[in-house]
Amino acid sequence: MVLEVATLQVRQGQADAFERAFAQAQSLIAGMAGYQGHELQRCIEDDHQYVLLVRWNTLQDHTVGFRQSAQYQEWRALLHHFYDPFPTVLHYTVCEPKPL
């Protein structure tokens, strides 16, 4: 499993509109091959800062399967104009404990 972590800074005054657009956009990502689940969390200290966590089967399910799809173009149209600056997106995998 791969965890996509996107740090989203939404333009001032646009948080409610962003959340409404995200509610519409989330079905686009949920229908993609390799998608396992997601959650959007809003920062307590800065109510225009969010983190999007998406679980994928593989890195390619996100970077190729989703980002090169027609659904991504719809996702982009719905959400990308809310961000300033553009989000940082990184991918993580579970670390296995190392023996002592």
Distance CA 82, CA 9 (A): 8
Whether the pLDDT of residue 100 is over 90: the answer is no
Pairing between strand 88-92 and 35-42? unpaired
Contacts of 60 (CB under 8 A, 6+ apart): 34
Structural domains in the chain plus CATH codes? 2-92 (3.30.70.100)
Tens of pLDDT along 29-84? 999 999 999 999 999 999 999 999 999 999 999 999 999 999 999 999 999 999 99
Amino acid at 65: G
Distance CA 79, CA 25 (A): 8
Distance CA 52, CA 42 (A): 9
